Structure 1
């Protein structure tokens, strides 16, 4: 199948992913940090899952949320990186239409789940710092299970129309997607039809997911910061502030590139395409790499379990 932008056809069986347009000559070099981030993400998230499973004392709400985050990160990075690396290394750009829709759904569905898990973690930190005596009674296993189910169902059901809407459009101009993965708007923009339903539904999803999530996270960490500054000793304040500050950095590394990519598709026509595509990859690559480090390895209990594991191996 031709990858020309001028090919005339109707409803192609596959699409061509360009990778990072304008930077094709350095794809191999770009793949090095991308591959490193993927390796760290896989190793780190599997480590978190293994440690929490092995250590009975970590069977608590915060660590259940960390396990949910680890699974989400593994799915998000694995849904994108292998195909991306095949483009960079082997120039394997073709992707079947059904595979493209599947990738599209998994990316957007698990992105919504990740946002919901950040809210759950913010809730856990809020209760632990602002109302520590009631933490075990507020965040019971039953409540954690309900939160997990709500996060899962919201992602699965709210994003389900994306692939169905994308499938119904006729594609008769080009089958070339100027991206490293099948992003919803990047795909439906190729349709030779009025795609306002897809565009408006995408805005609705952002309003229903990002709006409430960012608002709750902002409220939670505002209250947390107020509680931190009322702590009795300076060392305790600095330690707690450092932990919450690193959490906020990871959260911002997720939301800022995601919102930038979403808004650029609709309003940022002057933004260079290669910059847009690189930024769109950041919220799928950077948080899965940082989350197990910031939320996991920096946590005292997981640190102790890791040290114990390696010292046992060494003796």
Structure 2
């Protein structure tokens, strides 16, 4: 972690587009649901708006302290995953929520900290927790049976040889348990036959799957979106930046449903009329992506997608979270 937390090591992706989507200004209250190093937060605060930052990672505190020092009356940090957005907003004491932004996935700041265990390129404890609570990645690979391990490797990592990897892990852990990141990466690489000129490291998908499972990232995203829906005032703006198809699919489906644009059914079945009124309207169709200039400067921007919507006056829909983790 840098000695100067306000010089954020994690460059916020699609920053200009996010600020345009949120359109914050003096008197507005915006939740930065994934505070991180405070990149989005600082840009929002610079417009005169107030920001409630959320993060479950205790290591972001120095960055939050730096932001609070620069914006003492505009900013507060509440330690919670973004599924706790509604409770955090109530705790803040603010009367009206005008915007919410989500930046989904692991940050470069977390990947760079070997002791966090997110990276297969740096040796560290096999942890992967975004908070300091709950099971670690080591708990999963040393304790789960073949079926559940293969399932998450295929579902969350889209690893085609998920069964082969799970078999290799179970075979090796009989000799000794996994405790280090490079140890697991080596076993996965051998199970998949080495790199063989592959554009990405063979362990990439397995590490992604473990990270998502350890942190319940997809379930958190679903619950976070629903919490934002329940908390945003009419006219409030939602902006979500994703970096993977699994996450983007959840956001796309959520907004498709909540804007009343979900498919009505097949031509062989009666059309079902949904009595619920749309709780959001899209700001623009599809997803916006980073331009060539940003892509050349920031590698994370290459896979980033921004979707944005505006809250209507309709009531929030009933919770449907839990589907992503199935």
- Answer 1 or 2: which has greater strand percent: 2
Give yes or no for TM over 0.5. no
TM-score bracket for the superposition, by shorter chain length? under 0.3
TM score, norm. by length of structure 2: 0.27
Higher RCO, 1 or 2 (CA under 8 Å, sep at least 6)? 1
Normalized per residue, which structure has more helix? 1
Length-normalised TM-score, structure 1: 0.28
